[in-house]
Amino acid sequence: MDLRVDGLSHWYSDLEVLRDINLTIPQGQIVCVIGPSGCGKSTLLRLLGGLEQPTQGQVTQVGEPPVGSLNPLTYVFQDFALLPWRSVEDNVSLVLERHNLSKAEKEDRISDVLTRTRLSDFRKAVPKQLSGGMKQRVAIARALSVNPAVLLMDEPLSALDSQTRELLMDDLIDLWTREQFTSCYITHNLAEAVRLGHKVVVLSRRPGVVREVVDIDIPLANRRMSDPRIAEIQQDLWDMMREEAQTADLELAP
Amino acid sequence: MSIFKMTRRVWLANLSAMTAGLMSLGMPTVAAAQDDVVLGALRFTSHGAGFVAYERGYFEEEGLNVKFEFFQAAQPIAVATASGDVDFGVTGVTGGLMNLAEKNALRIVAGVLHEKAGVDGMIVLASNKAYEEGLTSIDDMPGHSLAMTQVGSTFHYMTSRIADEKGWDIADIKLVPLQKVGSMVAALKSGQVDMMIMVPHIAKALAADGAAQQIGKLNDYVEYQISTMITSVENIENNPDVVKRFIRAYSKGIADMNAGLLDPNADPSEKEALTKILHKYVYTDQPYEKAAPSIQNGAMFLNEGAALNKTDVEKQMNWFVDSGLVDSDLTVDQLVDSTFVETN
Amino acid sequence: MADVTNHVDKNGANPVAAPHERPVYFRGGGFRTEPRRFVGLAVFAILLIIWEVGSRTGVISELVLPAPSQAFAAFMELVNSGNLQKHVGASLQRLTIGFSAGSLLGLVVGTAIGLSSYARAGLSPLVSAIFPIPKIALLPLFIIWFGIGEGSKVATILFGCFFPTVIATYGGIDSVDRTLIRMGQSFGLSRWEIVRKIVLPAALPAILSGMRISASIAIILLVAAEMIGAEYGIGAYVLLAGNLMSTDQLIAGVAILSMLGLIVSWLITRAEKAFLGWRN
């Protein structure tokens, strides 16, 4: 299933946040969206998944979600959004409870996603006992458990320290290599974008418009930071962003 | 005297004595010093003898400089007398009073209010509902509920006296303690309780409004000493002369009240003069024309010469002791000091 | 720094002399409370001893305050007469019914105010207006509305517990992390599921501390509630003792009330440990 955005604009009362966005997230690809802070990246993601209504334009699902998908458009949040009073397995279970699954099927799904995210040993732990990276893996496991068509990821690594971030990025690449999930990945970190994105969408400062869409056709598994091609793309992206970021930095908060 | 025993007023008295002493050094001595006393009172006609004695200068004649301290209920007057915040108080012979006397804090020194047949006194009321269902006289009381302020209150005692006279078991009347007269009235009006015994000025007003029915008068069955004059043991021991003079002046007020308000042949101009004096203290929020009948309704029989029915006080004391409400160590001589007035 | 400079100056002729050394002194610590066992108990015991000695020697007059031993004697009298169970039983029943009903209603109304704009606009001013009214002032009305039986007593306690619970509940809901709610919505949870599985558990710490307050208010109001035609009850016992100036019984009754408060507080701490274990 693809996700297509047509002529999407958005205002918060008088403040124009996004202007005429056109964009496709093709099945099996990770589309990274980068831009200076306050450019409306997170708003775009909320519009994609229907957590907010666009002022203009629309978001369309093209094709059918995979069989057994309980929640085709599924989010992974920056600050994990785990319920602190529920254990790891119960946090996953939360999003399955309303779907009238048989006990066995529910259990299957939980064990499956926990294995895929290498969390099987921590089923009974509560979020407070877990490191930031583990917490985000729980959140990813929870997202995977509903078998989503598109994963909408809102700066999922930005609350983590840099080493954890590297490790989790490797995890995400492994995961994609195994099961080619579809995702829209919001970040302000260029390194993440060039490591994970099949396409990188650069947004301008507010009101956000699509400045450039960069395709990177090096397979995810083969991308190394030392690769000069990667370094070059990252440098190009930074050149595009630098001015926008500088100007955005000087603006007063709305 | 320990610090804790020394009350605030004693402190103040000492302090002012010191100040006066200092000031008199440079001044000519003032003759005939007045004694300052505080009288704890309720804004009721039944407390009127004190107001009359004050307004007509009887206290002044005795060399007393009286100040009033007003209370909302009788019980705190006893406590304030024990603590020394007031010197004299007029209050019912309650269990609380007896327990304070047992701690040698205060004593009864004179009689004030006495139930007497043929004179206005406590009235027994029935709720409209109970009245319609057949509670029309005192004889019908057993099996009904009766509102009172508290266990051990004068209302409690009055009810048990009626039961005694009639030969009933007090347990046949369901006593409902409601703490406040306002709550008692609310419960009776709404038919939550069947009966209550009430002071005349409130009872008459309720009956006149049709909010309740009068089914009898207490003094048709029981004559007893309702309220008394109390003072602290400290006053009795250290200033017996002040106590004597105070009671003498108060008695003059009593004489005026009985002659001018209760006597059916009272001089109308005297009745009006007394009512006007009382209006300065009672029902002050109402205009005189409206207040006058209420004030006059509230008049009850006062003990001539502040004489005290010690026999009855002892009877009351024994009832409280027998009911387990008062420490059995209490003796009547601890409760009553009969050296100041005539007792019987 | 000045020290170092002086040092060098003084020894200007010999600049290589060993510099003045001293350890960095410790200036952290403090302000951190650690559990200190038995201190509370000791303070309590010392106060009791001073009080008892004061009474025995006559420094504290019996009129001002009865000795602890006298209060204890009054308490034992209550135990031996068998009336203690009657008083405590009657009060506990009123407390339990009034507190549970008041808290439950408060929870429902508080949740409504927390979640619905209409309920908030309509009810929260009403709550603010009625909360501060002293329930004792309404006693005569309560008698007419709820009778002189258990109704008005339970109602007094119920009213007392209702308002703090409402305020604690919607305060707790207001401070629930919005991303958790958005997470629930993003996974397509129903409104009711979000309330039950996300909002209320997240507001539970605030609700429980509200209950701690309302339970204390319930005990405070017990005396007021039992002003209305109560034959038995600790509040009624305390009132009677006050009216009769039996200060020893008064102290005994007040001590029972404070024991009750301690037990309730302990129960709520247990509940917090059981339900809020995830916080630690």
pLDDT at A201: 92
B156 and B170 assigned to the same domain? yes
| Whether pLDDT at C166 is above 60 | yes
B107 and B231 assigned to the same domain? yes
- In the listed set A99, A116, A148, which residue is the last one of a domain according to the structure? A148
A246 and A174 assigned to the same domain? yes
Q: Which of B100-104, C32-36, C37-41, C107-111 has the lowest mean pLDDT?
A: C32-36
A175 and A122 assigned to the same domain? no
Per the CB < 8 Å rule, is C179 touching A79? yes
| Whether pLDDT at B245 is above 90 | yes
Q: What is the share, in percent, of chain B residues with pLDDT greater than 90? A: 47
pLDDT at B323: 85
- Name which residue leads in pLDDT, C19 or A145: A145
Give the per-residue SS3 of chain B.
Answer: CCCCCCCHHHHHHHHHHHHHHHHHCCCCCCCCCCEEEEEEEECCHHHHHHHHHHHCCHHHHCCEEEEEEEECCCHHHHHHHHHCCCCEEEEECCHHHHHHHHCCCEEEEEEEEECCCCCCCCEEEEEHHHHHCCCCCHHHCCCCEEEECCCCCHHHHHHHHHHHHHCCCHHHCEEEECCCHHHHHHHHHCCCCCEEEECHHHHHHHHHCCCEEEEEEHHHCCCCEEEEEEEEHHHHHHCHHHHHHHHHHHHHHHHHHHHHHHCCCCCHHHHHHHHHHHHCCCCCCCCHHHHHHHHHHCCCCECHHHCECHHHHHHHHHHHHHCCCCCCCCCHHHHECCCCCCEC
Average pLDDT along chain C: 87
A113 and A28 assigned to the same domain? no
- Contact list, C60 vs chain B (CB under 8 Å): 2, 4
pLDDT at C20: 86
| Whether pLDDT at B331 is above 80 | yes
Please name the residue that has the structure tokens 């009305």: C141
- Name which residue leads in pLDDT, A38 or C128: C128
Q: Which residue of A has its CA nearest to C280?
A: A128
| Whether pLDDT at B69 is above 50 | yes
Average pLDDT along chain B: 86
> With a CB-CB cutoff of 8 Å, which residues 137-156 of chain B face chain C?
147, 150-153
| Whether pLDDT at B338 is above 70 | yes
Domain, as residue range, for A91: 82-148
| Whether pLDDT at B3 is above 70 | no
Interface C:A, ≥3 CB–CB pairs < 8 Å: yes
Of residues B82, B95, B187, nearest to C148 (C-beta): B187
pLDDT at B21: 46
pLDDT at B33: 58
> With a CB-CB cutoff of 8 Å, which residues 158-177 of chain A face chain C?
none
pLDDT at A254: 58
Domain, as residue range, for B139: 123-220
Residue B246 lies in a domain: yes
Cis omega (within 30 of 0) for bond into A148: no
What residues contact B301, with CB distance under 8 A and at least 6 apart? B113, B114, B115, B116, B119, B120, B121, B258, B262
Tell me the mean pLDDT in the region C201-210: 92
**Residue ranges of domains in chain C:** 67-275
**β-bridge pairing B212-217 and B195-198:** unpaired
pLDDT at A223: 82
Mind listing the pLDDT tens digit for each residue in B283-322? 888 899 888 888 888 888 899 899 999 999 999 999 999 8
Distance CA B57, CA C236 (A): 45
| Whether pLDDT at B6 is above 60 | no
Looking up residue B175, the CATH number of its domain turns out to be 3.40.190.10
| Whether pLDDT at C278 is above 90 | no
pLDDT at B24: 44
B232 and B100 assigned to the same domain? yes
Domain total of chain A: 2
- Whether chain A has a CB inside 8 Å of the CB on C274: the answer is no
A104 and A119 assigned to the same domain? yes
A163 and A60 assigned to the same domain? yes
- Whether chain A has a CB inside 8 Å of the CB on C183: the answer is yes
pLDDT at B28: 39
Mind listing the pLDDT tens digit for each residue in C252-275? 999 999 999 999 999 999 998 888
| Whether pLDDT at B127 is above 90 | yes
Residue B31 lies in a domain: no
Per the CB < 8 Å rule, is C144 touching B192? yes
Distance (Å) of CA C186 to CA A35, A109, A139, B243? 24, 19, 13, 86
Mind listing the pLDDT tens digit for each residue in A191-222? 888 889 899 999 888 788 888 888 888 888 88
| Whether pLDDT at B10 is above 60 | no
Tell me, what's the ipTM?
0.85
- In the listed set B175, B190, B220, which residue is the last one of a domain according to the structure? B220
Q: Which fold has domain C67-275?
A: MetI-like fold (1.10.3720)
pLDDT at A242: 83
Residue A70 lies in a domain: no
Per the CB < 8 Å rule, is C197 touching A81? no
Of residues A74, A77, A127, nearest to C179 (C-beta): A77
- Whether chain B has a CB inside 8 Å of the CB on C2: the answer is no
pLDDT at A253: 64
Mind listing the pLDDT tens digit for each residue in B117-126? 877 788 999 9
pLDDT at C1: 44
pLDDT at A147: 87
Give the single-character DSSP code of C194. Answer: I
- Whether chain C has a CB inside 8 Å of the CB on A99: the answer is no
Best B81, B178, B316, B323 member to test C by mutation, with max C CBs in 10 Å, is B178
User: What value, to the nearest 5°, has the Cα angle with vertex A68 and ends A67 and A69?
Assistant: 95
pLDDT at B23: 45
